[in-house]
């Protein structure tokens, strides 16, 4: 922190209703670098439930610089604020909470705000169910009379109107009970106090550093927020560029790539593996903007490689996020890799997937693995695989199910997709992505009964089986005969002879897949498959 900047940090407490009034009057504003509103229905309801119970909801953090050098957003929730004051404070911590509270407690008819879109107003309005005494955001257009919008509770005229209305629907005893419950909650909301910290003076770097040291109970603090705040310049907003990248990843089925992983790729692009890089140090780089754009280009190259060369047709099929980080590093150092280097990289991918490479290695060994990989990507060595003490990696046992939370299971899924594409001679350009695995014998979901469904490859069932196919991921229609259009039985590890004996299908396909997988693993070197192939597993022949 720069000691030359005069900074005064002052903890304070004020009523919730006053803080919302400061927002409405423009005395508290949302800086442009603040991330978007992301809270869901449960988080909104939990916030009000905490207030009702008298629980603290975390302190807020406001920054009052000597000059308002950063642009601010005059939109909050579904509203646009009309005020444009000359002096204001930035909301640094608490944006999600303030947006939730303001959007639910401000009267949409208030002349100080302008509703942006009436269609999404209900996404923000929170009701209190006076019968069951709980908060709710009903999706039905028909709302019971005993549901009161929370902004009615803090607006005297709206509350009186509601009270008159409730008396017309219910008898005196019931209406009195409802009104008393509403009054009780209104008192809680109007009297509720929130702690906040005012940072007076200093720079945005100072406020972020203070922010990172304060034990806030909100969920606003994140490396992404920190970078967006520290690097906001000339309209460059890190979080928005991340979203632009994700739009480009849709083509590859990688739009769900976690923001955290993208940030880790940027951190690793500095030359060190991400867990050895302090996020705040990125913001101090004069080339941060260029580093981001270049890394985003390399992420796209890495995902393109995973998709077209390794048939990772969807983000959920990627065994390790670290594989993407490493491959992004490869394309940073090697813009035009040779065919031999690509083949070595593909082999490394399968070796690290089958060996549980990144699970069995500690952080210190992962550092060494990264250094070896870097040397490979710079053309200094011929193999990217790091081995501690020349160990032999062992492939874990055949997974019971195709489960996307398991590295071994995802690796099997990729092997089955690889077999299907290669043996059927499918052109990867004709494949439009990956749907999921469907069962040959529902409701069983054991691996040996599962078949990958690739978009663009049409072997759909007849109308009679269509509903079951869609609802239960049911491929049993394939077993009815051996002439389903476009379906390659051999590429899907099915011996057509077993179709006459459906009870033998599981055993037959289990050994078929294991035999092929064993051969493939042996071709990778450095790996050992199950030592006694036919002795292991649920279909043991002994």
Examine the pLDDT at 116 and tell me if it is beyond 60.
Answer: yes
Examine the pLDDT at 470 and tell me if it is beyond 70.
Answer: yes
Q: What is the pLDDT of residue 13?
A: 93
pTM of the model: 0.68
Q: What token pair was written down for 287?
A: 């080339």
Q: What is the pLDDT of residue 391?
A: 77
Examine the pLDDT at 215 and tell me if it is beyond 50.
Answer: no
Residues 6+ apart with CB under 8 A from 520: 350, 415
CA gap 227, 361 in Å, rounded: 30
- Angle (CA) 84 92 293, round 5°: 100
Please tell me the least confidently modeled range out of 52-61, 217-226, 394-403, 439-448.
217-226
Q: What is the pLDDT of residue 19?
A: 95
Q: What is the pLDDT of residue 466?
A: 77
Examine the pLDDT at 216 and tell me if it is beyond 70.
Answer: no
Q: What is the pLDDT of residue 341?
A: 96
pLDDT tens for each residue of 496-512: 776 656 568 888 999 99
pLDDT tens for each residue of 25-81: 999 998 877 777 889 899 999 999 999 999 989 889 898 887 776 778 888 999 998
What value does the mean pLDDT take over residues 117-140? 89
Of 298, 314, 320, whose CA–CA distance to 245 is shortest?
298
The β-bridge relationship of strands 127-129 and 89-93 is unpaired
Q: What is the pLDDT of residue 218?
A: 43
Identify which has the larger pLDDT, 471 or 521.
Answer: 521
pLDDT tens for each residue of 264-309: 999 999 999 999 998 778 878 889 999 999 999 999 999 999 999 9
CA gap 219, 227 in Å, rounded: 16
Q: Identify the DSSP state of 258.
A: -
Examine the pLDDT at 452 and tell me if it is beyond 50.
Answer: yes
CA gap 523, 528 in Å, rounded: 10
Predicted confidence band of residue 219 (pLDDT cuts 50, 70, 90): very low
Q: Please provide the distance, in angstroms rounded to a whole number, between the alpha carbons at the two ends of the chain.
A: 71
Q: What is the pLDDT of residue 192?
A: 94
Examine the pLDDT at 174 and tell me if it is beyond 80.
Answer: yes
Element (H, E) at 117: none
Residues 6+ apart with CB under 8 A from 64: 89, 90, 198, 199, 200, 201
- How far from 136 is each of 39, 132, 149, 178, CA to CA, in Å? 15, 10, 9, 16
Identify which has the larger pLDDT, 119 or 175.
Answer: 175
Q: What is the pLDDT of residue 33?
A: 74
Residues 6+ apart with CB under 8 A from 3: none
The β-bridge relationship of strands 72-73 and 75-76 is unpaired
Of 42, 13, 368, whose CA–CA distance to 196 is shortest?
13
Q: What is the pLDDT of residue 409?
A: 96
Q: What is the pLDDT of residue 209?
A: 66
As to burial, measured by CB atoms within 10 angstroms (0-12 exposed, 13-18 middle, 19+ buried), residue 423 is middle
Token pair 């941060």 in the structure block, residue: 288
């Amino acid at each position: 922190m720069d000691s030359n900047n005069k900074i005064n940090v002052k903890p304070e407490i004020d009523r919730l209703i006053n803080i919302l009034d400061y927002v409405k009057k423009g005395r508290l504003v949302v800086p442009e670098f603040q991330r978007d509103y992301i809270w869901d229905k449960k988080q909104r309801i939990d916030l009000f439930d905490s207030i009702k119970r008298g629980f603290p909801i975390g302190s807020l953090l406001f920054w009052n610089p000597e000059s308002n050098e950063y642009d601010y957003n005059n939109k909050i929730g579904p509203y646009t604020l009309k005020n444009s004051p000359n002096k204001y404070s930035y909301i640094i911590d608490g944006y999600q909470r303030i947006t939730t509270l303001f959007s639910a407690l401000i009267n949409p008819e208030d002349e100080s705000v302008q509703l942006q879109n009436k269609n999404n107003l209900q996404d923000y309005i929170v009701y209190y169910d006076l019968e069951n005494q709980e908060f709710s955001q009903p999706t039905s257009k028909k709302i019971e009379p005993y549901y009161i919008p929370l902004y009615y509770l803090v607006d005297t005229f709206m509350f009186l109107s509601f009270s008159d209305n409730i008396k017309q629907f219910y008898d005196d005893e019931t209406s009195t009970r409802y009104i008393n419950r509403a009054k009780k909650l209104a008192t809680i909301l109007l009297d509720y106090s929130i702690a906040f910290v005012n940072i007076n003076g200093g720079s945005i770097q100072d406020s972020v550093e203070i922010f990172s040291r304060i034990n806030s109970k909100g969920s606003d603090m994140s490396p992404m927020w920190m970078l967006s705040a520290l690097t906001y310049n000339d309209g460059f907003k890190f979080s928005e560029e991340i979203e632009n990248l994700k739009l480009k990843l849709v083509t590859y089925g990688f739009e769900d790539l976690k923001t955290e992983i993208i940030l880790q790729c940027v951190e690793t692009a500095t030359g060190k593996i991400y867990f050895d890089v302090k996020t705040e140090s990125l913001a101090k780089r004069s080339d941060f903007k260029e580093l981001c754009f270049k890394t985003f280009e390399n992420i796209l190259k890495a995902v393109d490689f995973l998709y077209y060369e390794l048939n990772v047709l969807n983000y959920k099929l990627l065994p390790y996020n670290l594989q993407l980080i490493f491959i992004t590093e490869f394309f940073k150092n090697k813009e035009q890799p040779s065919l031999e280097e690509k083949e070595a990289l593909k082999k490394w991918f399968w070796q690290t997937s089958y060996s549980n490479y990144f699970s069995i290695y500690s952080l210190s060994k992962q550092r060494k693995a990264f250094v070896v990989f870097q040397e490979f990507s710079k053309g200094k060595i011929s193999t990217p695989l790091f081995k501690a003490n020349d160990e032999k990696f062992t492939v874990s046992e055949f997974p019971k199910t195709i489960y996307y939370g398991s590295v071994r299971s995802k690796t099997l899924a990729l092997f089955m997709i690889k077999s299907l594409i290669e043996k059927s001679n499918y052109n990867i350009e004709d494949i439009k992505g990956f749907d999921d695995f469907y069962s040959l014998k529902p409701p069983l979901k054991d691996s040996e009964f599962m078949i990958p469904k690739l978009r663009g490859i049409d072997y759909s069932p007849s109308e009679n089986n269509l509903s079951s196919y869609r609802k239960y991921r049911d491929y049993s229609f394939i077993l009815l005969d051996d002439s389903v259009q476009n379906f390659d039985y051999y590429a899907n590890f099915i011996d057509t002879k077993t179709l006459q004996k459906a009870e033998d299908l599981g055993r037959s396909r289990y050994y078929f897949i294991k035999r092929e997988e064993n051969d493939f693993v042996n071709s990778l070197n450095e790996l050992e498959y199950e030592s006694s192939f036919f002795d292991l597993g649920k279909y043991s022949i002994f």
